[in-house]
């Protein structure tokens, strides 16, 4: 009886997760993402500057835990943020203080565990005293860099460092190096220099790299085989639509896409010129909602070029991350090889398409 109730409860819990929170996140909706992510810069005089937007940390994703650590050991704290909806999380590289000084302190406890939780470290400089307490972590499911990082700014000298160990002992050190890591062990005098491995964090993706990261297609590769239909619902393959000696400009669009509504009239206008330049214009609608009136849209826009339709399995191939970004325009060779990818609709993409016509392909 108890087991049956437990099972029911488990099933209920699973169902809640799968059909409520899970669905919200899978569909890309944000649960608490509109709560702003705050990052403040200490001005050193007791005031703080809000740098949430300019630093890039404020995103509309659902953050579920942030870790503060100097991942590249260059003397400034970087941030790793776990996002609930995206398959990708965020790693924010700190570029602000690369030319500033620091002292990093590792602590090894003896009286109450190696972590020395509860130890208090004070660093004295001409600018004043900085105090840090060695703690296990804070925030939701997060544990930060166990090493204590003291930012020194322009200061090149640490006059004194004091440690109050959890066991009650204390230690005072002078003649300290800077821009390095030192290790202090409870019950021992002096310090050891530590050389943490140096590393570099990757540069952020550029617009094009970010666009390609979302797509299941690569320039130079063959366009994937998709199950397509024509507007009458008859199966059609893209391969059969390719014609020897001619390129294809495949415009991926949707009825719900606002920039597509600006781009499609431009394409309709360019259609005769593209055809004359040896480029066959083909539309590919990614509308998967059966209620979407693709035929009506095509008629209203005067799209006289062939338009194909896709299904959700094909969408997963085109957009493995589950985010269909349209418009997307591809130039294909007569063998179906992807020659060029134009993402979104902008003056730049319009100019690129016009240049394509002028170049006579």
Contact in structure between 253 and 286 (CB atoms under 8 Å)? yes
Contact in structure between 247 and 279 (CB atoms under 8 Å)? yes
What's the closest the beta carbon of residue 301 comes to Ca ion, in angstroms?
50
Contact in structure between 85 and 29 (CB atoms under 8 Å)? yes
Contacts (CB under 5 A) with Ca ion, residues 200-259: none
What's the closest the beta carbon of residue 68 comes to Ca ion, in angstroms?
10
For residue 191, the surrounding DSSP H or E stretch is none
What's the closest the beta carbon of residue 148 comes to Ca ion, in angstroms?
14
Is 155 among the residues that bind Ca ion (CB under 5 A)?
no
Q: Which is nearer to Ca ion, 102 or 345 (CB)?
A: 102
Q: Which is nearer to Ca ion, 58 or 76 (CB)?
A: 76
Size, binding site for Ca ion by CB under 5 A? 7
Which residue from 353, 302, 354 is spatially nearest to 327, judged by alpha carbons? 353
- Selected binder of Ca ion within 37, 57, 67, 74 (CB under 5 A): 74
Is 68 among the residues that bind Ca ion (CB under 5 A)?
no
The dihedral built from the CA positions of residue 214, 238, 326 and 353, taken in this order, carries a sign that is positive
What's the closest the beta carbon of residue 94 comes to Ca ion, in angstroms?
4
Q: Which is nearer to Ca ion, 37 or 72 (CB)?
A: 72
Phi-psi map region of 28: left, alpha, beta (phi>0 left; psi -120 to 50 alpha): left
How far, in Å, CA of 155 to CA of 152, rounded?
5
Contacts (CB under 5 A) with Ca ion, residues 83-142: 94, 98
Is 181 among the residues that bind Ca ion (CB under 5 A)?
no
Residues in the chain: 361
Burial (CB count within 10 angstroms: exposed 0-12, middle 13-18, buried 19+), residue 98: exposed
Is 78 among the residues that bind Ca ion (CB under 5 A)?
yes
Is 72 among the residues that bind Ca ion (CB under 5 A)?
yes
How far, in Å, CA of 342 to CA of 331, rounded?
8
- Selected binder of Ca ion within 76, 145, 266, 334 (CB under 5 A): 76
What's the closest the beta carbon of residue 91 comes to Ca ion, in angstroms?
11
What's the closest the beta carbon of residue 246 comes to Ca ion, in angstroms?
51
What's the closest the beta carbon of residue 98 comes to Ca ion, in angstroms?
5
Q: Which is nearer to Ca ion, 152 or 171 (CB)?
A: 152
Q: Which is nearer to Ca ion, 41 or 231 (CB)?
A: 41
> Both tokens of residue 339?
């020659």
3-state secondary structure 152-169: EECCCCCCEEEEECCCCC
Contact residues: Ca ion, CB under 5 A: 70, 72, 74, 76, 78, 94, 98
């Amino acid at each position: 009886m108890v087991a049956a109730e437990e099972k029911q409860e488990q099933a209920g819990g699973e169902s809640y997760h799968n059909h409520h929170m899970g669905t919200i996140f899978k569909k890309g909706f944000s649960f608490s993402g509109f709560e702003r992510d705050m990052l403040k810069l200490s001005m050193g005089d007791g005031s703080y500057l809000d740098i949430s937007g300019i630093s890039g940390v404020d995103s509309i994703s659902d953050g579920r835990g942030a870790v503060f650590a100097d991942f590249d050991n260059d003397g400034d704290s970087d941030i790793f943020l776990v996002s609930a909806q995206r398959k990708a999380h965020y790693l924010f590289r700190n570029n602000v203080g690369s030319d500033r000084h620091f002292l990093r302190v590792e602590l090894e406890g003896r009286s109450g565990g190696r972590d020395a939780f509860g130890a208090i470290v004070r660093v004295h400089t001409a600018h004043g005293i900085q105090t840090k307490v060695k703690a296990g972590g804070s925030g939701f499911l997060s544990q930060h860099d166990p090493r204590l990082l003291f930012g020194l700014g322009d200061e090149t000298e640490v006059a004194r460092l004091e440690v109050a160990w959890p066991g009650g002992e204390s230690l005072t050190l002078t003649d300290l190096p800077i821009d390095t890591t030192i290790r202090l062990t409870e019950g021992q005098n002096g310090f050891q220099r530590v050389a943490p491995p140096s590393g570099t964090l990757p540069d952020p993706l550029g617009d094009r790299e970010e666009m390609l990261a979302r797509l299941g297609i690569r320039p130079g590769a063959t366009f994937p085989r998709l199950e397509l239909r024509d507007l009458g619902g008859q199966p059609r393959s893209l391969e059969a639509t390719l014609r020897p000696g001619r390129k294809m400009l495949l415009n991926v669009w949707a009825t719900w896409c606002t920039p597509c509504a600006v781009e499609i009239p431009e394409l309709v206008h360019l259609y005769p010129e593209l055809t004359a330049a040896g480029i066959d214009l083909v539309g590919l609608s990614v509308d998967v909602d059966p209620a979407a009136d693709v035929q009506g849209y095509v008629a209203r826009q005067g799209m006289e070029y062939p338009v194909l339709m896709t299904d959700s399995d094909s969408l997963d191939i085109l957009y493995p991350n589950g985010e269909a970004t349209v418009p997307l325009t591809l130039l294909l060779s007569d063998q179906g090889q992807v020659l060029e990818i134009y993402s979104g609709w902008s003056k730049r993409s319009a100019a690129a398409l016009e240049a394509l016509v002028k170049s006579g392909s």
